[in-house]
Chains A and B, each alone.
Chain A
Amino acid sequence: MGSFSLILLPTLRCNADCDYCFERKSEHCLEIDQLGIITGKVMDHMESIQRDSLCIYWQGGEVLTLPPDWYRRAYDLIGDMAEARGKRVFHYLQSNLLGYDAKWNGIISEMFGNSAGSSMDFPNLHRRLKAGGTVEYNLIWTRKLREARDAGIKVGIIAIPNSKTLELGAERFYSYFADELGLSDFQVNTPFPGGAGGEVKPGFPLDEAGLGRFLSELAEIWTRRGLEAGVRLGPFHSLSEYFLNGTKELNCIWRDNCANEFVCVGPRGHVAQCDCWVTSYPDHRFGNILDEGSLTEMLRKSGARRDLKSRPGILIEREDCLECEYLSLCHGGCPVRAFTVYGDLMRKDPYCGAYRRLFQTMENLVDSGHLEFPARGAGGGTQTAAAVAPK
Chain B
Amino acid sequence: MASGHGDSNLIIRSRDPSELAECLCSGNLQRICHVQVTGLDSEPDPLVEKGPGVPVDLVVGNPLEELPLLYRWTPLLTNHPVRATIPVAAGFSKAVKLAVALNFAVKLDVLQPGPPLVEELHRVLHAYLHQTAVTQPVEYFHSLLLAFYRRERLTLWTVQEEDPGLYRHVTDDGLVTPGRRFKVPDGSGYFVPEPGFVIRECESARCEHIEHCAGYFRLPAREYDCEGVKSLFRVLKGAAEDLRSDLDSYDSGSPKAR
Contacts and interface: CB of A to CB of B under 8 A. Distances in A.
B123 interface: no
A366 B133 CA distance: 13
Contact of B97 (A256, A300, A314, A327): A327
B169 interface: no
B166 interface: no
A248 B97 CA distance: 17
Given A322-B94, A327-B98, A246 B72 contact: no
Nearest to A242: B132
Contact of A312 (B71, B75, B133, B135): B71
Nearest to B68: A313
B72 A309 contact: yes
Interface string A1-14: 11000000000000
A327 B133 contact: yes
Given A257-B71, A313-B69, A327-B97, A300 B133 contact: no
Contact of A313 (B49, B71, B94, B103): B71
State the main secondary structure of chain A at its contact with B: helix
A33 to B, nearest CB: 30
Interface string A314-352: 101100001001111101000000000000000000000
A47 B133 CA distance: 34
B71 A50 contact: no
Given A316-B98, A322-B94, A327-B98, A243 B68 contact: no
A189 to B, nearest CB: 23
B102 A256 contact: yes
A218 B202 CA distance: 58
B78 interface: yes
Contacts of A312: 68, 71
A363 interface: yes
A283 B199 CA distance: 65
Given A50-B79, A309-B72, A316 B102 contact: no
Contact of A257 (B74, B97, B101): B74
Contact of B49 (A50, A243, A256, A257): A50
State the main secondary structure of chain B at its contact with A: helix
Interface string A250-265: 0000001100100000
Contacts of A309: 71-72
Size bracket of the B interface:
20 to 34
A89 B165 CA distance: 51
A181 interface: no
B22 interface: no
B144 interface: no
A243 B75 contact: no
Contacts of B71: 256-257, 309-310, 312-313, 331
B45 to A, nearest CB: 7
A49 interface: yes
A56 B258 CA distance: 53
A49 B71 CA distance: 19
Interface string B65-104: 0011111101100110000000000000010011011110
B132 A260 contact: no
Interface in B95-134: 97-98, 100-103, 132-133
Given A50-B79, A300-B45, A322-B97, A260 B74 contact: yes
A317 B67 CA distance: 9
A260 B68 CA distance: 16
A49 B48 contact: yes
Contacts of B132: 243, 246, 363, 366
Interface in A26-76: 48-50
A325 B133 contact: yes
A326 B100 CA distance: 12
Contacts of A325: 133
Interface string A279-319: 00000000000000000000010000000011011101100
B133 A328 contact: yes
Contacts of A316: 67-68, 98
Contacts of B79: 1-2, 50
B133 A313 contact: no
Which of A309, A322, A326: most chain B Cβ within 10 A?
Answer: A322
B74 A328 contact: no
B68 A317 contact: yes
Interface in A197-242: none
B75 A260 contact: yes
B78 A313 contact: no
Interface in B24-78: 45, 48-49, 52, 67-72, 74-75, 78
Contact of A327 (B52, B75, B101): B101
A202 B68 CA distance: 34
Contacts of A246: 132, 135
A328 B101 CA distance: 4
Contacts of B70: 313
Given A313-B68, A314-B68, A322 B48 contact: no
A260 B100 CA distance: 18
A45 B221 CA distance: 53
A49 B44 CA distance: 12
Contacts of A243: 132
Contacts of A50: 49, 52, 79
Given A256-B101, A322-B94, 9 more contacts: A50-B49, A256-B71, A256-B102, A257-B71, A312-B71, A313-B72, A327-B101, A327-B133, A328-B102
Interface of B: 45, 48-49, 52, 67-72, 74-75, 78-79, 94, 97-98, 100-103, 132-133, 135
Closest 6 CB pairs of A and B: A313-B68, A328-B101, A246-B135, A313-B71, A50-B49, A328-B133
8 contacts: A48-B49, A246-B135, A248-B103, A300-B45, A313-B68, A314-B68, A322-B67, A325-B133
